[in-house]
Chains A and B, each alone.
Chain A
Amino acid sequence: ETGVTQTPRHLVMGMTNKKSLKCEQHLGHNAMYWYKQSAKKPLELMFVYNFKEQTENNSVPSRFSPECPNSSHLFLHLHTLQPEDSALYLCASSQPGGTASTNEKLFFGSGTQLSVL
């Protein structure tokens, strides 16, 4: 176990549904991330939170809405998704502010495999 827990592991939803992905990290980190991983494509960074504040939004459609209530928890709220949003959604954390050897290391959760019908 990597110290970053994601639920659910699998999610099937219709285009009109609303669902949420949850991520929790037990590593004492202060930065949390959402990535999207599609088949044969590089990991795509979606959102970054540092000390609960959103610092990056990589032009993600508004049907994805992140929430970070504290440094240990991160949510991704989903509504009116499209079939092309089907992918593996990975949460990660890191510890910013240290040396390059520490603040660049990403620790990933197991991901949520999302299928949009």
Chain B
Amino acid sequence: QKEVEQNSGPLSVPEGAIASLNCTYSDRGSQSFFWYRQYSGKSPELIMFIYSNGDKEDGRFTAQLNKASQYVSLLIRDSQPSDSATYLCAVNPPGSSASKIIFGSGTRLSIRP
């Protein structure tokens, strides 16, 4: 059983719409959750992290965490072609350092003009 699951996509969203990316995880005790963006041929870049239930907003990005349902999502408002990338969900088990972070396989997002 995968520990962090994401739909591989591609997810195609029209420019200007809201892109919604979802991730589920298996370790109920996980406490730290991350979203990394990876452009083709480039390195993953941390764009959001969230620790508490609820929403966390940063510009056009909103991370949503629901620990009871064990899912974390990323919303991108006013999607731009430059948002086209693979988005990696990452989860850290409780009390762990970065070396224990578990990554999902990523969701490929395509924003069509």
Contacts and interface: CB of A to CB of B under 8 A. Distances in A.
Given A33-B99, A42-B104, A100-B51, A108 B44 contact: yes
Interface string B61-85: 0000000000000000000000000
Range for the number of chain B residues in contact with chain A: 20 to 34
A106 B98 contact: yes
Interface of A, helix, strand, loop or mixed by DSSP: mixed
Interface residues of A, number: 27
A31 B105 contact: no
A56 B99 contact: yes
Interface string B91-102: 010001111011
Interface of A: 2, 4, 31, 33, 40-43, 45, 48, 55-56, 90, 94, 96, 100-101, 103-111, 113
